């Protein structure tokens, strides 16, 4: 009989040169269990998705309840679907007044696409500015604002009139002009190996966008939903974007994204053309029910409040054996830098063999990713750090 692993390689389209090939039977909290019964402590949370842990009972119950009531009914925006309404209302209670209008999408990339279109339509301009080493998704529009040539080169031509600035470089901000529709930026840049911008950079970026009438889009698809120690990462910087992007943890483990703006900006999508962004499954009722349940878990279990202390504990325990310039962190989004991809990969493989699941970053293959479910406990952090440190020593 052909194994599932072989069938996976034969019939599921492959994009990874070296897939991890773990076959997981079930997942619970911060643990994954493979088909042989081996347990893995998850330090990547499905790439910053499972913030409330895997299969949280509240999320599972919400999914079951909604699936029994109704699943897909109609394309986005025609019917009043209560899971969307409830989630949009609850979410906007936690957002500044100018972010009061939510367009639900299927994914992060679709949220990026919607936001870029919104900015072009609202400003009547075409130029899109982004940053080197930025990741906003893998569709053509999102790829156009990606800050890495290796991943873009083979897919050109992409969108015209785009350029990238240096992330964190204040003097580059003067290149934002009255011809720009939008600047899209990760509030904390993840795939470059966790880069945290200065307060001054973010504030000057906001000022320059306001001066030039350019919409400022914050991509918090990875940094949002508590990951950095605030519910939304922009709260660290005292600046509010014109458009906010959420996805990943936003769906509580189900596919869901959103671009969020003011009603005044968002209303341009109803005119010239009508249906300015169309999606069949965006805001799927089951995904919205799951997302809202996960959102309530964040509040109920006071998870966001604990993030900084947990992140600090990781850092303190790892610092025993690492130099401080090897660690980059905001909350529970953390990178450990090694001298090469090869060394990092050997350490990651040893960690996985020893039951701790970690990974590298897209634009920083020499950095190990630490982004566990926010529910991780002190004792689990200690165990994870022991395995990481012994894996470093073994390599
Ligand atoms: N933006 C950021 C910062 C991301 O990390 C990702 C995914 O990794 C995306 C956008 C794209 O999201 P999705 O994979 O849901 O399309």
pLDDT of residue 233: 98
In this structure, what CATH number is given to the domain that contains residue 49? 3.90.1150.10
pLDDT of residue 322: 85
Ligand 1 center–CA 138 separation, angstroms: 8
pLDDT of residue 323: 86
Are 221 and 177 members of one domain? yes
Beginning with the edge strand found earlier in the chain, give each strand of the sheet holding 215-219 in spatial order: 101-105, 257-261, 243-246, 215-219, 180-186, 127-131, 162-165
Are 372 and 242 members of one domain? no
Q: Which domain covers residue 334, as residue numbers? A: 4-55+302-393
Ligand 1 atom closest to the Cα of residue 186 is 3
Q: Which of 300, 335, 355 is the last residue of a domain?
A: 300
The residue assigned the tokens 């088909």 is: 35
Is pTM beyond 0.95 here?
yes
The residue assigned the tokens 């795939």 is: 191
247 lines ligand 1 (CB under 6 A): yes
Tokens standing for 86? 């409830």
- How confident is the chain (395 residues) per 10-residue block, as mean pLDDT? 95 94 97 97 98 98 98 97 98 98 98 98 98 98 97 97 98 98 98 98 98 98 98 98 98 98 98 97 98 98 98 93 90 97 97 98 97 98 97 95
Ligand 1 center–CA 320 separation, angstroms: 33
Are 256 and 325 members of one domain? no
Task: Please give the tally of structural domains in the chain.
Answer: 2
Are 89 and 115 members of one domain? yes
Which among 44, 184, 195, 222 is the best mutation to test ligand 1's pocket, defined by most ligand atoms within 8 Å of the CB? Answer: 222
pLDDT of residue 299: 98
135 lines ligand 1 (CB under 6 A): yes
Are 336 and 233 members of one domain? no
Ligand 1 center–CA 245 separation, angstroms: 10
Q: Which of 284, 300, 316 is the last residue of a domain?
A: 300
Are 336 and 372 members of one domain? yes
Residues 6 or more apart in contact with residue 221 via CB below 8 angstroms: 108, 111, 112, 136, 137, 245, 246, 247, 248, 250, 257
Are 43 and 81 members of one domain? no
Are 328 and 236 members of one domain? no
In this structure, what CATH number is given to the domain that contains residue 281? 3.40.640.10
């Amino acid at each position: 009989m052909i194994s599932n692993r072989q069938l996976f390689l034969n019939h599921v389209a492959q994009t990874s040169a070296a897939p991890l090939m773990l076959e997981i039977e079930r997942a619970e909290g911060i643990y994954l269990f493979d088909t042989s019964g081996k347990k893995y402590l998850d330090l990547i949370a499905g790439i910053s998705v499972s913030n409330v842990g895997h299969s949280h009972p509240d999320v599972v119950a919400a999914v079951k309840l909604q699936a029994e009531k109704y699943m897909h009914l109609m394309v986005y925006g025609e019917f009043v679907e209560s899971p969307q309404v409830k989630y949009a209302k609850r979410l906007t209670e936690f957002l500044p007044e100018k972010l009061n209008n939510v367009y639900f999408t299927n994914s992060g990339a679709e949220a990026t696409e919607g936001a870029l279109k919104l900015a072009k339509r609202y400003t009547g301009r075409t130029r899109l500015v982004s940053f080197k080493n930025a990741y906003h998704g893998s569709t053509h529009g999102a790829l156009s604002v990606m800050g890495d040539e290796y991943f873009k080169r083979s897919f050109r031509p992409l969108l015209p009139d785009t350029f990238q600035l240096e992330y964190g470089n204040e003097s580059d901000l003067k290149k934002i002009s009255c011809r720009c529709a939008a600047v899209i930026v990760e509030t904390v840049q993840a795939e470059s190996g966790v880069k945290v911008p200065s307060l001054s950079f973010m504030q000057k970026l906001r000022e320059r966008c306001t001066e030039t009438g350019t919409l400022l889009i914050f991509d918090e698809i990875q940094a949002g939903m508590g990951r950095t120690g605030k519910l939304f990462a922009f709260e660290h910087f005292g600046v509010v974007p014109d458009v906010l992007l959420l996805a990943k943890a936003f769906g509580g483990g189900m596919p869901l994204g959103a671009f969020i703006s003011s009603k005044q900006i968002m209303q341009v999508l109803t005119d010239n053309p009508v249906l300015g962004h169309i999606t069949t499954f965006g805001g799927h009722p089951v995904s919205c029910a799951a997302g809202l349940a996960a959102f309530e878990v964040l509040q109920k279990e006071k998870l966001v409040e604990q993030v900084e202390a947990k992140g600090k504990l990781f850092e303190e325990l790892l610092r025993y054996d690492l130099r401080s310039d090897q660690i980059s962190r905001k909350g529970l989004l953390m990178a450990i830098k090694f001298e090469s991809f090869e060394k990092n990969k050997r350490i990651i493989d040893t960690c996985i063999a020893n039951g701790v699941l970690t990974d590298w970053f897209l634009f920083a293959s020499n950095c190990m990713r630490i982004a566990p479910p926010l529910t991780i406990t002190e004792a689990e952090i200690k165990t994870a750090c022991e395995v990481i440190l012994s894996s470093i020593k073994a390599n």
